[in-house]
Structure 1
C-alpha cells in the first residue's frame, strides 16, 4: 500500500485536537480519502509501514544530533544527508518572503552557522557509523540524476527498478520549464539547479560567499570572485562530484 500524505496547512500543530481533518492519497487505490482523523491516520500509517520492507522518510527538521540518537539504537537505519548550495536556498527563501533582502547579511550568517554545525556533526557521525550514513549534494543529483540515484539505491541495499529510472529521466529532462520553482519536474535539471544565478545580485552573492565560506570548504562549493562570473554558467560554483565531505 503506497500512501502519499497531503496536509492542507503549513504544518500540523502537535497540540491540535485528535480529530484534526487531513486528506490522504492512496496510490494503489488511485483516490483520496478526505477528513481523516489523526488517530485514524496514525493507525493507517503504522499498518502500511509495518508491511513494507523498506521505509523512507524525508525531513528537513531533524538535526544530526537528533539523527544520531536513532542511528545508535537501530543498526538498520541509514541516513542520506542532502545539502544544497546556500546561495540557492537563501535566494529561494528571500524570493518567497522568508526574510527581507536588507536582512541577507544577518540571515545568511545565522543560516550558515547552523548549517556548518550540522555538517560538522555529520562528519563525526560518518566516522562512528561509516556504513549507515552518506552524503550527497543536490547539484550532483541534478547533473547526473540516474548515476547518483543508482548510488543511493546501492547504499540502502536496493536495486534501481527500470520504472524508477524512466521516471527520473522524465522529471529531469522532460518536465516543466525551469522558471517554475515549485515544480518537481524540470525540462533540464542541470540548468534548474543553477537558475538562482540569473535572479540574484552581486552584493547578495558576495555576502553569502563571505558568511558561508566555512560551509563551502566542507561541502565543495566555490565562491564567485567576479561580478561578471555570476551570470556565466561556464564558471563553476562547485567542485567536481564527490560522495563524501572533505
Structure 2
C-alpha cells in the first residue's frame, strides 16, 4: 500500500511536469508566432488537463457550434460564485463600431445602481492578438465563445486576473466605466456585487444567437438591446475615425481606401442581416427580452427613447439619468448629419451592398441622387419600419 501511494505521488509529479513543460513549449510557439503549431499544442494541452477541467467551464449552452478548434475548455477553470444580492437587471447592449454604443452605455451608467463593463472584446482581442478594426464574422470567430463567457462572468460578478490587469494598465478604460482605483479582485468584485443592475456594451459580438443560447438568457435573466444605425452613417463615421483619405495624390492609397470602404460596408450589412435572422429565431416566450433601437432615434429624441429603454429593462428613470438627458441639447436631424459628409458615390456603394429589404426592415430610406442626399426635406428615416412581426422595436 505504501509503495502504491509513492507510485501515485510520482505519477502526479510526472503529470504536473508534463503540463508545465507543455505550457512553456506552447508559450514559446505562441511568442514566435508559429501559427501552424498553435492549434496542435492547444489540443495536446486540452488532453492533458482532461475532461475534469473542461467540466468546470461555467457558461452553459444549449447548442455550442462556434468553437470548432476546441480552444476554449482550458482557458477558464474557475466556477462562478453568484452574488447574494438580488439582481434586478442584466442588460447587454449589442452593437457595432461607430453605431452609438458608448452613448447608449452612458445612459445606463448614469444610474447610480448600475455596474458597467465597457467592451469586453478589448480584452479578448488582445489575448488573441487581433486587429482592432476588422469585424468580419470569420475574423472574429475565434473570440466569440470567450467573449460570451466574459459577458456572463460580469453578469455574475466573477472576474479573471486578465480583466483586472487590463483595467490597471488602462486609465482611459476605467474612465469609461466610471471607476478609479477598483482594480483588485476584492474591490472590483465588491463594486460589482454592490450594484443591483449590470450592463455590458460590446461591438465585437457577431451573432446575438450565441447569447440567446446561454442558460442565463433562456432563464430570462438577460435583456438584450440591439442597437443599429443607418449603414451609410456607420460607414461615414468609420472612414473618418479610421482616417481613410480619398484626396491623396497617391492613386494606390485612394484605391486601397475604397476597397476598405467596400469591405467594411459588406461586413456591417452582413451583421445586420445575421442578427435580424437570429432575432426572428428567438423563442416566442423570450422575445420580450429583446429589443431593437435605432441610433438616430436615440440621438434625436433621448427624452422619448431613454425612458422606453428603462421601461424595457424594468427600471424607473433615475433623477441622474433625467439630469443627463436635460443637460443635452436636443436637435432633430442630429442623427442624420452624415448626409452632408458622405458623397453620393460612396453612399451608393453602401446602398448596393445592403439589400432593399434590410433598409425597409430597419426603416432607412435610400436616395437616388446627390440632390436627394443633401436635401433636408427628403426623409432618410421612416417612422414605420417593416421589422418582422414579433420583434420589439423602440420608436
TM-score (norm 2): 0.49
Give structure 1 stretches of 5+ with no counterpart.
174-187
SS in 2 for 1:32: coil
SS in 2 for 1:142: helix
Give the structure, 1 or 2, with the largest relative contact order (CA under 8 Å, sep 6 or more).
2
1:59 aligned partner: 202
Take 2:274 and 2:219, find their aligned partners in 1: how far apart are those partners? 24
1:199 aligned partner: 341
Shift of 1:48: 1.9
2:228 aligned partner: 83
Distance change >3 Å, CA 58–CA 172, structure 1 → 2: farther
1:239 aligns with 2:370: no
| Correspondence 1:142-153 to 2 at 5 A | 142-153=299-310
Distance change >3 Å, CA 26–CA 202, structure 1 → 2: closer
1:33 aligned partner: 181
Distance change >3 Å, CA 15–CA 236, structure 1 → 2: closer
Distance change >3 Å, CA 145–CA 92, structure 1 → 2: same
1:209 aligned partner: 351
1:11 aligned partner: 122
Task: Choose between structure 1 and 2: higher helix proportion.
Answer: 2
Take 2:386 and 2:197, find their aligned partners in 1: how far apart are those partners? 23
Do the aligned partners of 2:361 and 2:387 also contact (CA within 8 Å) in 1? no
Distance change >3 Å, CA 204–CA 32, structure 1 → 2: same
2:187 aligned partner: 44
Do the aligned partners of 1:4 and 1:25 also contact (CA within 8 Å) in 2? no
1:170 aligns with 2:315: no
TM-score (norm 1): 0.76
2:276 aligned partner: 119
2:24 aligned partner: none
SS in 2 for 1:11: helix
Take 2:340 and 2:358, find their aligned partners in 1: how far apart are those partners? 22
Take 2:351 and 2:264, find their aligned partners in 1: how far apart are those partners? 13
Do the aligned partners of 2:116 and 2:198 also contact (CA within 8 Å) in 1? no
Shift of 1:241: 5.5
Take 2:286 and 2:115, find their aligned partners in 1: how far apart are those partners? 31
Shift of 1:166: 2.4
Take 1:84 and 1:69, find their aligned partners in 2: how far apart are those partners? 25
Shift of 1:67: 1.7
SS in 1 for 2:365: coil
Aligned residues: 222
Shift of 1:171: 2.6
Take 1:139 and 1:146, find their aligned partners in 2: how far apart are those partners? 13
Shift of 1:242: 5.9
1:176 aligned partner: none
- Aligned to 2:291, which of 112, 134, 139? 134
Take 1:65 and 1:2, find their aligned partners in 2: how far apart are those partners? 25
| Correspondence 1:215-234 to 2 at 5 A | 215-234=358-377
Give structure 2 stretches of 5+ with no counterpart.
1-112, 130-160, 245-255, 390-395
1:185 aligned partner: none
SS in 1 for 2:328: helix
SS in 2 for 1:125: coil
Take 2:203 and 2:283, find their aligned partners in 1: how far apart are those partners? 19
Take 2:350 and 2:179, find their aligned partners in 1: how far apart are those partners? 44
Distance change >3 Å, CA 147–CA 126, structure 1 → 2: farther
2:139 aligned partner: none
Residues 192-227 of structure 1, C-alpha deviations (whole Å, 9 max, x = no match): 311111111111111111211242122111101222
Take 2:327 and 2:370, find their aligned partners in 1: how far apart are those partners? 35
SS in 2 for 1:134: strand
RMSD, matched Cα: 3.2
SS in 2 for 1:218: helix
